[in-house]
Structure 1
Amino acid sequence: MSLSYLIKEGVAGLSRARLAAFTSIFSLFLAVLLIGVLTRIGFNAYEVAQLLRQQVEIEVFLQNIDTQTTNELQQSIQNEPFVEELNYISRDSASMIFQQEFGMGGEALASLNFLPASFRLKISDDATVAQVDSLVQVVEQYHGVDEVQFNLALLELLEARTDQLAIGGAAIGMFILFIAMILVFNTIRLTIYAKRDLIRAMKLVGATNGFIRRPFLVEGILQGIIAGTAASFVIYLLFEWIVPTYLSQLGILTWPFGRWYYLIGGVMILAMAMGWWGSRWAARKFIKDTTISS
């Protein structure tokens, strides 16, 4: 079976059930458009959550210990899992930071040099709240550690909101995809019904189910290409022109992985895959008997 024949039959299938094909393409267009928009917004929300997470530091305040003990303690903490970076803040540096943050009014207090030395820890992005809390409990037991402070409530909130966003976005996306595939399924079913006499004749002369199915698969892929192209154009127009012009406060939204073509390529592949799968589903269901009832 030649490629030109498959494409010709696929295009012809679109014209046989025009209303159903338009409904299917439009549904696919809306589905991948919504998923593309949700993906970009969700990606930026995840980046913001990760940025906030990186700003949450664990501060380990030290007792009045000598240099050797401080170095040994620093090495021990650096060897702990999930510790990505460790910075030592001496008593003098702590006084300078205090003065910078509180301005002229903090000079008198800073001169007393009352602030203890400390370590500031940055934690790996993949560490969970439970793992960070476990790390804090371990560090608290080290000799020379006076107190450990970190914003547990903020980490818990960030993790909970990130999980909710991921679960909610995935559920909405799956629901949209399922509805769109149902419409592709119905479109291909109508096309098969319109060609039922020809399919009977093809089976009588020995055509296999696979041979008969292929044009319908091409039809589904063509629906996906049309819908994906339209959705890609709208997504690009939306985020490159409309949002920066009319919603400038949202103009800082970045493309996933820094380039527009990653998201656009994903939208095209998703649309084609949905069209192919919906048509395959219908074709396998309705082209399996030796006869097709009218």
Structure 2
Amino acid sequence: MSLGYIIKEGMAGLNRARLAAFTSIFSLFIAVLLLGVLTRVSYNAYEVGQSLKRSIDVEVFLMDLDERTTRELSNKIDRSNLVQTVNYISKDSAATIFKQEFGAGGGSLAKLDFLPASFRVEIKPETEITKVDSLVQAIKNYRGVEEVKFNQQLLQMIEDRFRTFATAGVGLGLLILLAAVVLVFNTIRLTIYAKRGLIKAMKLVGATNTFIRRPFVVEGIMQGIIAGLLSIGVMYISFQYVLPHYVPQFGILEWPFGRWYYLCGAMLLLSMFMGFLGSQWAARRFIKKTSISE
């Protein structure tokens, strides 16, 4: 069977059930657009979460230690696979920081030499809160450590909020995908029903189900391409021009991985796949049921 025939018949199928095809394309368009927006917002939420996690450090306050013991303790902490960097803050540096943060009034207090030396330990952003807590407990038991400060509640809140957002996003995305595939399925089913006489005739002259099925699959893919291109156009124009003009805060949202074509390409491929999946499902099911004797 020639490729030209398959494409021609697939395009013709869009005209045979126009209302159903329009409904299917519109539903795919809405589904892919919502998923694209959800992906972009989720990506930026993830980046913000990671940035906040990077700003949360573990502060390890030290007893009076000699230089060798301090270096050994630093190396011991740095060997953990959860640690990104270990920065040493001497007593003099701590006093300088204290004066910078508290102004002139903090200068007299800083002279009292009550500020201990410390390590500022940066944790890798992807580290789970439970592992960080285990690391903190281990550091507390190291010889020479006086106190360890770690804002566990803030990090726990960030993780919980992002986990809830991600779970809700995945659930909504799956629901949207399912609804779009079902609508493509119904459109192809109506097209098959409209062509049932031709399908019976083709079976009488020996056409296989695979031969008959291909144009319907092409029709579903064409619906996906149209819906995907429309959703990409609307999202690009909205996020690049319309929304930043009226709500400037939208202008700070970044494209995933820094380029527009990654997300847009994924949206088009997803739309085509959903069109293929719905049409393949309908064609396999109903072409087999179209009997020659009916």
**What is the TM-score normalised by the length of structure 1?**
0.98
Q: % of aligned pairs identical?
A: 60
CA apart distance, 1:12 = 0.5
CA distance in 2, matches of 1:18, 1:76: 70
Write the deviation string for residues 222-247 of structure 1: whole angstroms up to 9, x where unpaired: 00000000000000001100111111
Tell me what 1:111 maps to: 111
The residue type paired with residue 147 of structure 2 is E
The residue type paired with residue 67 of structure 1 is E
Output aligned runs, 1:1-294, within 5 Å: 1-289=1-289, 291=291
Contact 2:16–2:191 under 8 Å retained in 1: yes
Contact 2:50–2:126 under 8 Å retained in 1: no
CA distance in 2, matches of 1:80, 1:225: 49
CA apart distance, 1:145 = 0.4
Contact 2:204–2:292 under 8 Å retained in 1: no
**Structure-2 change in CA distance of 1:114 and 1:16 (3 Å):** same
Contact 1:196–1:292 under 8 Å retained in 2: no
Q: SS in structure 2 opposite 1:224? A: helix
The residue type paired with residue 131 of structure 2 is Q
Q: SS in structure 2 opposite 1:113? A: coil
CA distance in 1, matches of 2:233, 2:144: 61
Q: Any gaps of 5 or more consecutive residues in structure 1? A: none
**Structure-2 change in CA distance of 1:290 and 1:20 (3 Å):** closer
Write the deviation string for residues 62-93 of structure 1: whole angstroms up to 9, x where unpaired: 01111111111011111112001110000000
Write the deviation string for residues 178-207 of structure 1: whole angstroms up to 9, x where unpaired: 111111000000000011011111111111
CA distance in 1, matches of 2:49, 2:87: 23
Q: SS in structure 2 opposite 1:87? A: strand
Q: SS in structure 2 opposite 1:142? A: coil
Q: SS in structure 2 opposite 1:122? A: strand
CA distance in 2, matches of 1:103, 1:92: 16
CA distance in 2, matches of 1:72, 1:279: 65
CA apart distance, 1:125 = 1.7
Q: Any gaps of 5 or more consecutive residues in structure 2? A: none
CA apart distance, 1:3 = 1.6
Q: SS in structure 1 opposite 2:127? A: coil
CA distance in 1, matches of 2:293, 2:172: 37
Q: SS in structure 1 opposite 2:288? A: coil
Q: SS in structure 1 opposite 2:197? A: helix
Q: SS in structure 2 opposite 1:59? A: strand
CA distance in 2, matches of 1:11, 1:249: 42
Contact 2:90–2:116 under 8 Å retained in 1: yes
The residue type paired with residue 103 of structure 1 is G
CA distance in 2, matches of 1:80, 1:6: 60
CA distance in 2, matches of 1:287, 1:161: 48
CA distance in 2, matches of 1:4, 1:62: 77
CA apart distance, 1:262 = 0.9
CA distance in 1, matches of 2:243, 2:292: 51
CA apart distance, 1:290 = 6.2
Write the deviation string for residues 148-200 of structure 1: whole angstroms up to 9, x where unpaired: 00100011101111111111000001101111111100000000001101111
